[in-house]
Structure 1
Amino acid sequence: MSFEPTPSQKKAITTIDCPLAVTAGAGSGKTRVLVERYLHLIDYGVQVGDIAAITFTKKAAQEMKDRLRSMRPDLIESLEQAQISTIHSLCQRIIEEHPLQAQVDPRFRVGEEWETKVLLTETIEEVVAELDSPEALGTPLEIANVVLELYETMLSKGDLDFNRPMAREEGVEFPLLQLGYAVDRVLSLKPTTEVQKRVLDDLKEQWPGLLELMQFPDDEFRLEALDILL
């Protein structure tokens, strides 16, 4: 079936002299455009070995390779070594080819998601154990779970700047991590009166929203959330 690109698609396919970002919704023909762009680069004189095509999944990478093979049988042999893969596979290939420079054991392998989570939790526990008074923050496992949850939240937002203070007022900084420890410890308390139960229930309900506010880049939002909390 012939492919007639729209003006926007054609621009995405043929623009190669500058950085280019393309956004498109589901079912809009992204894979076909990427395939056409790949072929355009080859026709322009770029070697297959000089092109890195990164996909989100292994399935998508295989689909792209299959389409290229069907459209350009003359490239079947060179496509066997083509770098069309996920970012994990690309990094794995680079490290395997340059283990000394990467200072990584060449016998390494890419860990499964559950394995990396276990290793990260163990690492956090080791760091917590080296603190002056870790018992003041809870058990190592409790602290590790809080840190892991915050890490995954920041990772999902593409923000791993752990050193950035979350709010500032009159020279006082309130790191989100430290605040998270305090709030989680409070929420773990067992109320002994109705008043305590009501206060804890209110905090439990408001905390997720306040946490979101304190992640805004605008200091006004952060201070507002902090005022509500304090």
Structure 2
Amino acid sequence: MRPTKTFDKEQVKFNLAKIKKGGQTFEVIIDPDKIIEFKEKKKVETREILRYEKIFSDAKKGFLASEKDLKSIFGTSDPIQVGKNILDKGEIQFTQEYRDKIRKEKKKRIIDIITRNAIDPQTKLPHPKTRIEAAFEEANIKIDEIKDAESQVDDIVTDLRPIIPIKFSKKEIQIKIGPKHAPKAYSVVDRMAKIKFDNWQTDGSWVCNVEIPAGIQNEFFDKLNKLTHGEIESKVISE
């Protein structure tokens, strides 16, 4: 019996999840953004991931898997149950266009994380983003489109260290801001730093100890100095 065909012969490109069982291939057409959320352990329903509630033997040709084969191999022909099995245990295949898009986005995110959190241990200064980008190219860094950006950082930094010195570091800083600017400055500090201690003085001044990633120290003080017109006292407590 010929497989049931569901698509015309027009050129189509799909993001797929597929699995081989019992000598046969089973495929589902997926929403690529949703499958990444699913692989990142976010709460996503199977129905949200499947573009169609259909199981294919060859999605590109539009051939559906037979109910007989599904029941024989998966114990059910229900497309949601079979689809979940394929999503859990199968291989994900993205279109080249989507792979390029997601790798570009994750590369940018990873570089941002490194730039914000790391310094050159020799100079104690953050690396410019352009230096990190150049090191990526020299080290021929490969981005995994499935893994979230954060979980890839440590391995990538290990690959970058032979090219540029990198150290992840935090700084604890004590800040005092006068009553004129303290209320507005609070929101900036709270957004950019972890407030470990704070105290409002009787004159309306605000004193706090904060922890920030070493890589954003310059940005942090640039914003506070601009907001307070330089009317700020600070000292590094630890680094």
TM-score w.r.t. the length of structure 1 is 0.28
TM-score w.r.t. the length of structure 2 is 0.27
- Which one has the bigger helix percentage? 1
- Which one has the bigger strand percentage? 2
